[in-house]
Amino acid sequence: MPIIKFEPKQTKIKTILPGSKSVSNRLLIISAVGNFLPDFKNLSRCDDVKVMFDILHSNTNRFDVHDSGTALRFLTAYFAGIVGKWNISGSERIKQRPIKELVDVLLQMGAEISYDNKAGYAPITLTGTKMQGGEVELDISKSSQYASALLLISPMLEKGLKLRLKGQKRSMPYIDLTLELMSKFGVQAIQHENEIAVMPNQSYVPSSFAVEADWSAAAFWFELAALNPQLSIKLLGLDKNSKQGDKAVAQIFQNLGIEANFGTNHLTLQGTKSPGAKPLNVDIRQTPDMFPAVALTAAAQKRPFTITGTANLAIKESHRIKAVEQIINALGVKMEIGEDEVTVQEYPNAFPGKIKVKAEGDHRIAMAAAPLSTIINQIEIDDPKVVSKSYPEFWEEMQKVGIFLA
């Protein structure tokens, strides 16, 4: 099994973060719906974006989205509206991630979609047709991606779209990001409380676009800085005024001892020498992808914590609560798991010198494990390559600090 090792190198680090995966995948759908060739700078080179690009530029009608939730949900909506017969499948894990609420609305709008195996899950077969759209209710409790999918393809709908959002509101900044990008390409929506309306007869206007860096990827550098106050880390490419909800990472990590300051073209992270162990209480419901980095930073600092808004972490690339629990347990710590929250109350033991981590096929688990190598001598990890789902450059960039795979 590969081992994550740490041999301290330079302490002043500069790293260029990858382009945002969420922005990149929205741009690709926008260019497909708008029927123009993508002219985007700094598009993420990650697996999830590659898969979206390849499917949208392929000559077949059978698609494999691998592990990408955004590709599954966005492409389901897109191909429902493109005349032809299509099949969408993916990894074993993607076949366990829900799409029912999205498919129900597409069916109501005139799409033909059937489940090949299990109702509510991929693989699906679609017979694409010109959809009417109009007024629909959508339950977004399980994923905001359902709403983003419908909004992104709304210019394809004859009657436009009036979306009434139902259910618990989680990951809402991702819907704001969708609306912001649609508007940058000339499609306006009107939002009032739980309703979002996109008037008919609008179309995306071709335009070039530079993708800002990924705030979700920044989280692992915040974790690294929080555990290593000797480091001064400059992150390049982030937009201070980003619509990415995960820019909240800066506020969350303030409570974990990080001072983050924007310079002309970078964000500097500086950890505190004695960050204390004041309990952390944070609600992660709007920024779920922060969970592994935040939970493991707090644990590594031996800080009691309660993280709420965790219910949907069970249906990400892995069951992210169990995947994080496994690491916390390996540190000799117990995590209590409730329906929508997790808590760690005490750290009775010294951390072991050696732990084993199962990435569970989940990029964010592997990436959140990496900074722990600066406080635990030996970390064995089963599958470090999974980082390429969102951040293929991750291990190479970590080498600048002295974190490497052996």
Ligand X SMILES: O=C(O)C1=C[C@@H](OP(=O)(O)O)[C@@H](O)[C@H](O)C1
3-state helix, strand, coil in the chain (%, to 5): 35, 20, 40
Q: Which residue among 154, 171, 297, 301 contacts ligand X (CB under 6 A)?
A: 171
Phi, psi at 232, each rounded to 5°: -125, 120
Q: Residue 305 corresponds to which tokens in the numbers above?
A: 């914590």
Looking at beta carbons only, is 102 or 376 nearer to ligand X? 102
Segments in 309-352 forming alpha helices (H)? 320-330
Binding of residue 22 to ligand X (CB under 6 A): yes
State the binding partner of 312 from ligand X, ligand PEP, none, CB within 5 to 8 A by kind. Answer: ligand X
Q: Which is nearer to ligand X, 339 or 346 (CB)?
A: 339
For the chain, how far is it from start to end, CA to CA, in angstroms?
Answer: 9
Question: Interface with ligand PEP by CB under 6 A: which residues?
Answer: 48, 68-70, 289, 316-317, 364, 390
Question: Of the listed pieces 119-127, 128-136, 141-149, 320-328, which binds ligand X according to CB under 6 A?
Answer: 141-149
Residue 20 touches which member of ligand X, ligand PEP, none, C-beta under 5-8 Å by kind: none
**Partner interacting with residue 364 (select from ligand X, ligand PEP, none; CB below 5-8 Å by kind):** ligand PEP
Distances (CA, A) of 387 to 86, 314, 359, 365: 29, 19, 9, 9
Tell whether residue 70 is a contact of ligand X (CB under 6 A). yes
Q: What angle do CA 216, 33, 86 make, to 5 degrees?
A: 95
What x/- string results for residues 208 through 227 when contact with ligand X is judged by CB under 6 A? --------------------
φ, ψ (nearest 5 deg) of residue 81 = -105, 5
CB of 290 to ligand X, least distance (A): 10
Q: How far is residue 196 from each of residues 28, 165, 167, 388, measured CA to CA in Å?
A: 22, 8, 15, 34
Determine if 148 is a binding residue for ligand X (CB under 6 A): yes
Taking a C-beta distance cutoff of 8 angstroms, is the pair 260, 235 a contact? no
Catalytic residues: 289
Partner that binds at residue 246, options ligand PEP, ligand X, none, CB closer than 5 to 8 Å by kind = none
In the stretch 304-343, what mask flags binding to ligand X with x, by CB under 6 A? --------x-------------------------------
Q: If binding is defined by CB under 6 A, does position 145 make contact with ligand X?
A: yes
Helices of type H across 194-280? 215-227, 249-254
Distance CA 32, CA 38 (A): 8
- Phi, psi of 195, deg, nearest 5: -115, 135
Alpha helices in 34-91 (DSSP H): 47-56, 69-80
Specify the residue, 358 or 363, whose C-beta has the smaller distance to ligand X.
Answer: 363
Q: Are 254 and 269 in contact (CB under 8 A)?
A: no
Binding residues for phosphoenolpyruvate are: 21, 69, 97, 145, 320, 364, 389
Binding site listing for 3-phosphoshikimate: 21-22, 26, 143-145, 171, 289, 312, 316
Q: Which of 174, 220, 291, 391 binds ligand X (CB under 6 A)?
A: 174
- By C-beta, is 171 or 388 nearer to ligand X? 171
**CB-count burial class (<10 Å; 0-12, 13-18, 19+) for 265:** exposed
Q: Which is nearer to ligand X, 49 or 256 (CB)?
A: 49
By a kind-dependent CB cut-off of 5 to 8 A, residue 271 interacts, out of ligand X, ligand PEP, none, with none
- Residue pair 357/326 in contact by the 8 Å Cβ criterion: yes
CB nearer to ligand X: give 13 or 218: 218
Least Å distance, CB 125 to ligand PEP, is: 22
Rounded Cα distance between 345 and 306, Å, is 8
Binding residues: 21-22, 26, 69, 97, 143-145, 171, 289, 312, 316, 320, 364, 389
Q: Which residues bind ligand X (CB under 6 A)?
A: 22, 69-70, 143-145, 148, 170-171, 174, 288-289, 312
